[in-house]
Amino acid sequence: MMSRKQKYRRAKRMIYRIITLLFAAVVFGFSAGNLIKKDREYSETENRMLEQKPSVSISGIADGSYMEKYETYQADQFAGRDTWMEIKTGMELLLGKRESNGVFLGEDGVLMEELSDDSGKNVAENLEEINNFAARNEGINFYFLLAPNAAQVWKEKLPAFAVTEDQEKQFAGVQQELSESIQWVDALGVLQEHKDEEIYYHTDHHWTSLAASYVFEGLRDVMQLDETYITPLKPYAVTNDFQGTLSAKSGYERRAKETIYAYLPEDGQDTGLVVYDVEAGEKTASLYHTDKLNERDKYGVFLGGNSPLLDIQTVSDSQRKLLIFKDSYANCMIPFLVSSFRQIEVVDPRYYYGDVQTLIEENDITDVLFLYNGNTFFTDNSLSGVLKE
């Protein structure tokens, strides 16, 4: 009979042998796997080009850049990279981490971006130039619509104890800074009333068309749009396959798929209008770019993404002509506006380098709308430059 101690020792030896074999299997297995595996050029999940095998050169080795590139290459091309990522995220979730890369993982798998701080000097500059711009253009109606972000309206869904900015306070500050000639459109209040509905995508930083439809009702009243021109719109699901940017950014909810609804007139046709992308020199007959539904960022279905300047000629009988300064939140709002304006000029100041005063005069603009979401507005550094005289 073996004594207890002998048995213990024998087990210990056994453990060492097995672990050695397992260690060797992992180390040699993956080394070999990496050799055999074909390198990828592009990562769908991470949405970026992957590092390729660096070429050996004496200068590269001497200054160490070869080694650096090789290490990135090895990590980028590691066998089963996507699976490793899921393991890591899962481990962090187990440890109670609910934030990754500036994205919160909220209740029910809702991903929400951290709210931006509003203390930057760009904010003050933008507001000042907006006021100056309005003062220079007396006789035109000015509207300001600031959309709250998901982490504000859905703050109950934030992970426990998570801290982020308070957009209610930030927005009140903005409203106070704006001169009286600019009319405030309350989006925050409206969306708070509808917070139990699907007003934000769960994996993307945008609001949904449903949210835009509710806020449009408020906008209609402030703008005093003529009811007779307004065509009622109905939601149509255009894809069930949407996975937003927050999912890629954070690594959370990598299997989630969402539906995008587009709002169209009841017959399903947004006929008669012409959208002219000035920069690209392209004309289309629809506000929707269905080709974008085959791409990764399917939110691009609205207006085809962000262009510096869009000129939209509608079939509305209204005499009003609108100029919008906006970020991508406006892209799904514009469908609600086309029946109320004969013409809409859409400027994305981040990419626009033209002269807006000329734009106003040449097109006889009657109304100007600023439409931003809080996060973009508080980090924007291009609006004041576009508005400046």
Partner 1 sequence: MVFSSLVFLFTFLPLVLIFYFLVPRAAKNPVLLAASLIFYAWGEPVYLFLMLLSIGFNYICGMEIELKLKRNQGAKKALIFAVAVNIGLLGFFKYSGFLVGNLNALLPVDIPWPDLALPVGISFYTFQILSYLIDVYRRKVHAQKNLISFGLYVTMFPQLIAGPIVQYADIDRQLKSRTVTWEKFGSGTVYFIRGLGKKVLLANMIGGLFDVVSAMPQGEMSALSAWLGCLAYTFQIYFDFSGYSDMAIGLGRMFGFEFMKNFDYPYISGSVTEFWRRWHISLSSWFRDYVYIPLGGNRTTKPKHIRNIMAVWLLTGLWHGASWNFVAWGVYYGLILMTEKYLLADVMERIPVLVRRVCTMLLVMIGWVLFFSPTLSGALTYLGNMVGIGVPAADAEGIYLLMSNLAMLLILAAGSGPWVHKIFQKIGGDRQAIRIAVQCVTYTAMLLLCVACLVTDTYNPFLYFRF
Q: Which residues bind partner 1 (CB under 8 A)?
A: 4, 7-8, 10-11, 13-20, 22-23, 26-28, 30-31, 34, 45-49, 61-64, 67, 70-72, 74-76, 78, 81, 84-85, 87-88, 91, 95-99, 101, 159-163, 205-206, 245, 248-249, 251, 297, 306, 327-328, 350-351, 376
CB of 7 to partner 1, least distance (A): 6
Q: Contact, 319 vs 342, CB < 8 A?
A: yes
Closest CB to partner 1 among residues 200, 341: 200
* Max CA pair span of the chain: 104
Determine the Cα–Cα distance for residues 38 and 48; give it in Å rounded to an integer.
17
The CA dihedral of 51, 55, 57, 63, to the nearest 10 degrees, is 10
CB of 208 to partner 1, least distance (A): 15
Closest CB to partner 1 among residues 28, 353: 28
CB of 265 to partner 1, least distance (A): 27
CB of 109 to partner 1, least distance (A): 18
Spell out where 161-317 has E strands. Answer: 182-185, 233-242, 258-265, 274-277, 282-284, 309-313
Closest CB to partner 1 among residues 98, 321: 98
Q: Is 372 helix (H, G, I), strand (E, B) or coil?
A: strand
Q: Could you count the other beta carbons within 10 Å of the beta carbon of residue 191?
A: 23
Read off φ and ψ for residue 329, nearest 5 degrees.
-60, -30
Q: Could you count the other beta carbons within 10 Å of the beta carbon of residue 73?
A: 16
Determine the Cα–Cα distance for residues 63 and 50; give it in Å rounded to an integer.
23
Q: Contact, 88 vs 237, CB < 8 A?
A: no
Could you tell me whether strands 103-105 and 99-100 are parallel, antiparallel, or unpaired per DSSP bridges?
antiparallel
Q: Which amino acid is at 277?
A: D
CB of 319 to partner 1, least distance (A): 33
Q: Contact, 171 vs 188, CB < 8 A?
A: yes
Closest CB to partner 1 among residues 101, 290: 101
Closest CB to partner 1 among residues 63, 107: 63
CB of 157 to partner 1, least distance (A): 15
Q: Which of 171, 242, 200 has its CA nearest to residue 103?
A: 200
CB of 105 to partner 1, least distance (A): 11
CB of 116 to partner 1, least distance (A): 12
Containing H/E element for 17? helix 4-36
Closest CB to partner 1 among residues 85, 359: 85
Determine the Cα–Cα distance for residues 372 and 325; give it in Å rounded to an integer.
8
Closest CB to partner 1 among residues 71, 361: 71
Closest CB to partner 1 among residues 96, 232: 96
